[in-house]
Structure 1
């Protein structure tokens, strides 16, 4: 076997060094890495929350997956990160089977994709009509945007079950009770995200929106309890090894097989090959 094919990272690194890797390249790569990291990590936590699990699981996934992709991707210009398209797939799994079911399904999907890659089945994606791809992604965008109205507006509704129209009806009925501070912070962040690219500035708009939304929430909190916006630290709790706390766990996660993680009833999911 050609070692250049078995170690794509090594070959990409060798090619880069042969072309010359200057100090300016180092500075540019560090700047790009820091920028992507600052944007991708909050995004990963947000998508974990949207998928029905605690934010730290998105954080762990982004770090581990990012490192693996960088070492095995074979390109020095790879950019990897979480994708929102899977939220509509992962959320029902997490609701029905818990974290253990979600991680087990993810591991199974990874194995299937690995075998599909080895079998060179990726070429069949060329047979999918372009309108199908556009319709699929557009539908996902609409569903995700709708589901985020609950937190965007601070609506006092519980878990959203049922079909899309049932969920939309529940959300619309709760709009008169929206939380003004949540809506203001969300609208400000969204407005910056939309308007920033039109300014033609090189500074990443995602980072500006993140900082502006955070500062605005801190300022609003000074107006009183009614203007306090929930944060990851105040909304989420963790329990590990008999310890518990608010926000994100301050230590590294312990290794466990996916099926040993809690299911919908809080007990380990277990693994069974029975039908």
Structure 2
């Protein structure tokens, strides 16, 4: 792996290294928190953040994107760990990675293009809200009975003051100098302030100790039986889908921010390879992290070195500097993440929501709400399905005919608009076999037959005219349409020069 040590559009080594250090500091509490969510040891989350982050940074399809343990995956893992144990989780992560590699090799990453823009806006806004809500835990404390309570009095004021100070430094420092990432400067300043003034503020060490050794290779201790496969396969499929959806959407967002183009299929393979390796080294698996990716991009990290350095800094924290990292106040990291929320949320969507079609506005709000209520994968799938149904409904109304008398007599129906599953009922209502003359022509030159439902509709129309004793002619159908027609096949007027050529989505063979 060779790096260009001159600053360019693809990254600057100094910026990448400093940005990587900032990201690594922010990764620690996130990885620990997600490990707790999944019900595993904190080191399981930290090892995942290191291994997944390193491998995807080296071979991934989007330089500058940060990957690691995420909450979207953790909420799915918790049921598996609770019922079957952590070794089954490791086996699931290995299988999850293999599925993701297969998806990348089959070049299925391109289907992320099917996600409409309102769904993307909803995904970004929903994720910003999720990140914001997750930071509210920093304002809570757990008592001896294990119950959480909001901070009060002096502790609350100190926490709020440190968070505001962190945000102020991140906001105003770039106006003075860009020599050091503002987030890193804020973390260092607030940490020194807390230590110097001996302020009572919770730190990373209050969550858990992050000290540990190098991750060790180990084959998951599970029976290699069909029963094990039956247990882990459903989880692996769900985790693979969630991981790739979140990764590819984050990739698209960074593409937009940096005005560059990532490689989706390559990222799928990289994510899969990273998770497969992670499963063999005791990690909980992961995917792209929009919060840390935004920190990296906003701090000037553009090249692969930023992701690589973030992973290596994280490993160094685990091996050598755990005591120092555990001193960082949670308030500083909370302030950093609040700035990520502000930068992630598409504030422009609040202004355009009254100007865009009502259906798009509904999808935007729906995806945001579902992202907060469930998880990203469900939200995106729901958004795509609703958008597709809206699209189908709107285009179903576009089909119409213009009828006139033919040159040789009879009646000509000139069809306009797409013919597909949602418009076939309207298509049938456009014709009147009972009252039409004996000779009828249906002209498809200005229409397109989209799917097998349309083929069936044409066959049904032909049967109606044949039963009425009328002569029906079908003009300008594609060659494939002609081959798929059964009842109306001999009614087609073939014109090899003018007949269109396109494929029809059909479950029938010619």
TM-score, reference length from structure 1: 0.61
Give the Cα–Cα distance (whole angstroms) in 2 for the partners of residues 91 and 70 of structure 1. Answer: 21
Higher relative contact order (Cα pairs below 8 Å, separated by 6+ residues): 2
Change (3 A) 1:40 1:185: same
Q: In the alignment, which residue of structure 1 is the partner of 2:164? A: 187
Q: In the alignment, which residue of structure 2 is the partner of 1:252? A: 214
1:135 to 122, 126, 129: 122
Q: In the alignment, which residue of structure 2 is the partner of 1:118? A: 105
Say if 2:220 is the partner of 1:273: no
Give the Cα–Cα distance (whole angstroms) in 2 for the partners of residues 47 and 104 of structure 1. Answer: 23
Q: What is the CA deviation profile of residues 217-259 of structure 1, one whole-angstrom value per residue up to 9, with x for unaligned ones?
A: 2134x2xxxx4222233431xxxxxxxxxx2224223333467
Give the Cα–Cα distance (whole angstroms) in 2 for the partners of residues 134 and 272 of structure 1. Answer: 39
How far residue 147 of structure 1 moved from its aligned partner, in angstroms, is 2.1
Say if 2:109 is the partner of 1:147: no
Greater strand share, 1 or 2?
Answer: 2
Give the Cα–Cα distance (whole angstroms) in 1 for the partners of residues 228 and 136 of structure 2. Answer: 38
Give the Cα–Cα distance (whole angstroms) in 1 for the partners of residues 130 and 187 of structure 2. Answer: 23
Aligned positions of 1:158-169 closer than 5 A: none
Question: Do the aligned residues in 1 keep the contact of 2:170 with 2:182 (CA within 8 Å)?
Answer: yes
Question: Do the aligned residues in 1 keep the contact of 2:56 with 2:67 (CA within 8 Å)?
Answer: no
Q: In the alignment, which residue of structure 1 is the partner of 2:26? A: 43
Q: In the alignment, which residue of structure 1 is the partner of 2:204? A: 232
TM-score, reference length from structure 2: 0.36
Q: Which piece of structure 1 moves more, 90-99 or 207-216?
A: 90-99
Change (3 A) 1:61 1:33: farther
Question: Do the aligned residues in 1 keep the contact of 2:53 with 2:67 (CA within 8 Å)?
Answer: no
- RMSD of Structure 2 on Structure 1 (CA): 3.6
Task: Report the count of equivalent residues.
Answer: 212
Give the Cα–Cα distance (whole angstroms) in 1 for the partners of residues 32 and 117 of structure 2. Answer: 31
How far residue 205 of structure 1 moved from its aligned partner, in angstroms, is 0.6
Any gaps of 5 or more consecutive residues in structure 2?
232-510
How far residue 39 of structure 1 moved from its aligned partner, in angstroms, is 1.2
SS of residue matched to 1:51: helix
Aligned positions of 1:1-275 closer than 5 A: 9=1, 13=2, 30-53=13-36, 56-73=43-60, 78-82=63-67, 86-87=70-71, 89-98=72-81, 100=86, 103=90, 105-151=92-138, 153=139, 155-157=140-142, 174=150, 176=152, 179-199=156-176, 201-220=178-197, 222=198, 227-236=199-208, 247-257=209-219, 272-274=228-230
Give the Cα–Cα distance (whole angstroms) in 1 for the partners of residues 94 and 164 of structure 2. Answer: 37
Q: What is the CA deviation profile of residues 68-107 of structure 1, one whole-angstrom value per residue up to 9, with x for unaligned ones?
A: 23442488xx2242369x42x1342354444836655544
Change (3 A) 1:107 1:210: farther
Q: In the alignment, which residue of structure 2 is the partner of 1:6? A: none
How far residue 116 of structure 1 moved from its aligned partner, in angstroms, is 1.1
Give the Cα–Cα distance (whole angstroms) in 2 for the partners of residues 186 and 256 of structure 1. Answer: 41
Change (3 A) 1:62 1:91: closer
SS of residue matched to 1:61: helix
Question: Do the aligned residues in 2 keep the contact of 1:217 with 1:229 (CA within 8 Å)?
Answer: yes
Give the Cα–Cα distance (whole angstroms) in 1 for the partners of residues 46 and 157 of structure 2. Answer: 29
How far residue 148 of structure 1 moved from its aligned partner, in angstroms, is 1.2
Question: Do the aligned residues in 2 keep the contact of 1:116 with 1:122 (CA within 8 Å)?
Answer: yes
Question: Do the aligned residues in 1 keep the contact of 2:19 with 2:181 (CA within 8 Å)?
Answer: no
Give the Cα–Cα distance (whole angstroms) in 1 for the partners of residues 60 and 131 of structure 2. Answer: 29
Greater helix share, 1 or 2?
Answer: 1
How far residue 122 of structure 1 moved from its aligned partner, in angstroms, is 1.3
How far residue 200 of structure 1 moved from its aligned partner, in angstroms, is 5.7
SS of residue matched to 2:67: coil
